[in-house]
């Protein structure tokens, strides 16, 4: 369990470093929002491929409380294991925010002022998380070796085809509320993002059931 929790922590840590660090780098390098978003998406997708490929054999490479919840529902995690996974993911995500701020000489403790609210964005998070979990489940069932690429490519694309830029991850959402940078989300808007992510993940588990027997 220690090795699995450590793998989840390391993976989530580097995922958040990739998300926030590439956002800061992109924002400081160009005034073109589309170019900055492209850099942010590519860095995140590439990091996911590496992290899932290397850490997947240890912990399953969830890096996402919504994924861990679905694995509990599938009987692949016990509730105590899920609790350890989620604590590792959230804690590592918050640490990643501090380290990334330090790397870029930003104030360590920040609260985002970026507004991400409204029915369209909340619905977007439901769809983004539904797609992520749905394709993970089908990938695990039918082509497990391709899962790192499935996740990395899906998230890279979902940055662009969702209005919320596809957070699709409660731990990521919590961490991003503590950075007032390109990747941030106002802490007041994060709770409904998380609710929609959890609902999207559960819906994906239900829809995938007949396709993964």
The separation between CA 62 and the C-alpha centre of its own chain, rounded to angstroms, equals 9
What's the rounded Cα separation, in Å, for the pair 213 and 208?
A: 9
Question: Average pLDDT of each block of 10 consecutive residues along the chain (213 residues)?
Answer: 97 98 95 96 98 97 98 96 98 98 97 96 98 97 96 98 96 98 96 98 97 89
Left if phi > 0, otherwise alpha if psi is -120 to 50, otherwise beta: which for 62? alpha
- Kindly report, residue by residue over 63-99, the tens digit of the pLDDT: 999 999 999 999 999 999 999 999 999 999 999 999 9
pTM to 2 decimals? 0.95
What's the rounded Cα separation, in Å, for the pair 128 and 60?
A: 20
- Kindly report, residue by residue over 119-142, the tens digit of the pLDDT: 999 999 999 999 999 999 999 999
Q: What are phi and psi of 76, to 5 degrees?
A: -95, -10
């Amino acid at each position: 369990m220690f090795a699995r929790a450590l793998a989840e922590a390391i993976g989530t840590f580097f995922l958040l470093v990739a998300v926030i660090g590439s956002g800061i780098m992109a924002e400081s390098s160009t005034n073109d929002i589309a170019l900055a978003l492209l850099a942010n998406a590519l860095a995140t997708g590439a990091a996911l491929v590496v992290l899932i490929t290397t850490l997947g054999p240890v912990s399953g490479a969830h890096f996402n409380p919504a994924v861990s919840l679905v694995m509990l529902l599938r009987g692949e995690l016990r509730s105590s294991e899920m609790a350890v996974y989620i604590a590792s993911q959230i804690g590592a995500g918050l640490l990643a925010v501090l380290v990334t701020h330090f790397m870029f000489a930003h104030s360590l403790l920040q609260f985002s002022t970026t507004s991400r609210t409204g029915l369209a964005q909340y619905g977007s998070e439901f769809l983004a998380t539904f797609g992520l979990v749905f394709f993970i489940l089908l990938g695990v069932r039918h082509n497990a070796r391709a899962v790192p690429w499935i996740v990395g490519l899906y998230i890279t694309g979902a940055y662009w085809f969702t209005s919320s830029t596809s957070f699709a991850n409660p731990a990521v959402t919590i961490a991003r509320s503590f950075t007032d940078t390109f990747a941030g989300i106002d802490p007041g808007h994060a709770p409904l993002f998380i609710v929609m992510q959890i609902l999207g993940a559960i819906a994906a588990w239900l829809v995938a059931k007949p396709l993964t027997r």
